[in-house]
Structure 1
């Protein structure tokens, strides 16, 4: 345990700037997404709200989607997203794309929460918490870690190409990289389970009250 703690301390000391950068980039995306809501016209907001009402009434209120199907869709999406980050980390030129993905992920969450609150008030806040919060309590840390590790590995590859002394341990680092992403896959599986059961059921209850 002390050895593990020491390795974690060394890792955080060495790469803390990357983690901070990733978190700030994600938070910036959230703020930007919320600002987009305020820049939308009244007609655009009403059109989007109309489509959202139809979605909630069709798929949630009328119960046209099963827990199993929702879980399958969710886990497929999350694994594909992690796989994309994984392979971008293997590429030196993937760094800017990782930054864009982190920013977009934050922007989507910021826009969704901002739009619900802007249009539905406190009910929109409840709907946001029921639809977004349960799974994202796991998904957001997982994506931040995945993005950070992908950036770290990509930077390690750059060091490997620039200096011969980094070529030897790169294989060990790659094994660690695979192990970390394997653990993160378990995390998104749990998040998908939350989304398919907890988020879905709580969202159905609130959607029934809001849109009926």
Structure 2
């Protein structure tokens, strides 16, 4: 009962922030999708050549070093949330957190938009196995970290003149705990990307290689 009440209070206090951050992220996705249409023919051809080489590498099994893949993937994810964590401890970092969420949306929107726009349903299939699965966890984790960081930053502004230990220590521990939990989830995502993503991509790359050449 207490947990349910705490969750309800948490959602009530932070719902507006979640909506705001969600809108920023979705705006980034839309912007990234629109960017695909702004590419010149030469740029589209260059990206397609890169994709052709990437598809061939996947087909040949070049992504078999799971340790290196895990390290690269986890490093990328953990750097992202650590930047958010640092920015949350400074008031001036608050708008930068929103910029990060917007850029994340742009990256996903552009990637999926380009694949679908150039490769039709086969591009959508590739996006479903290479982009969507991990982002079902990555995106919520980043949004939760962003909202928690913004809430902590706002707390600092409201209580900047308070000297009581509890005014900073307890919110900081909750804030850091959320970041650590998200880091653990992203470690699991990195394992998935290292072990499962290459296998799933290899299922669909044969039908894409000829289209990308």
Deviation, structure 1 residue 181: 1.0
CA RMSD of aligned residues (A): 1.5
Name the residue aligned to 2:61: 63
Residue pair 2:55, 2:208 contacting (<8 A) in 1 also: no
**Matching residue of 2:104:** 105
Q: Deviations over 1:147-166 (max 9, x none)?
A: 111111111111122x5388
Write the mapping of 1:61-140 to structure 2, written as runs, cut at 5 A: 61-65=59-63, 66-140=65-139
Aligned to 1:24: 23
Which residue of 203, 206, 210 maps to 1:205? 203
- Normalising by structure 1, we get a TM-score of 0.94
Per-residue deviation at 1:208? 2.3
- For 2:156 and 2:52, how far apart are their aligned partners in 1? 48
1:186 to 184, 187, 209: 184
For structure 1, which runs of at least 5 residues remain unmatched after alignment? none
Cα distance, 1:73 vs structure 2:
0.7
Matched residues in 1 for 2:101 and 2:29: separation?
10
Q: TM-score, normalised by structure 2?
A: 0.93
Per-residue deviation at 1:167?
6.7
Q: Is the 8 A contact 2:159 2:167 kept in 1?
A: no
Q: Which residue of 1 aligns with 2:3?
A: 4
SS at match of 2:62: coil
Match of 2:193 in 1: 195
Q: CA separation in 2, counterparts of 1:5 and 1:169?
A: 24
Q: Deviations over 1:24-47 (max 9, x none)?
A: 111110000000001112221111
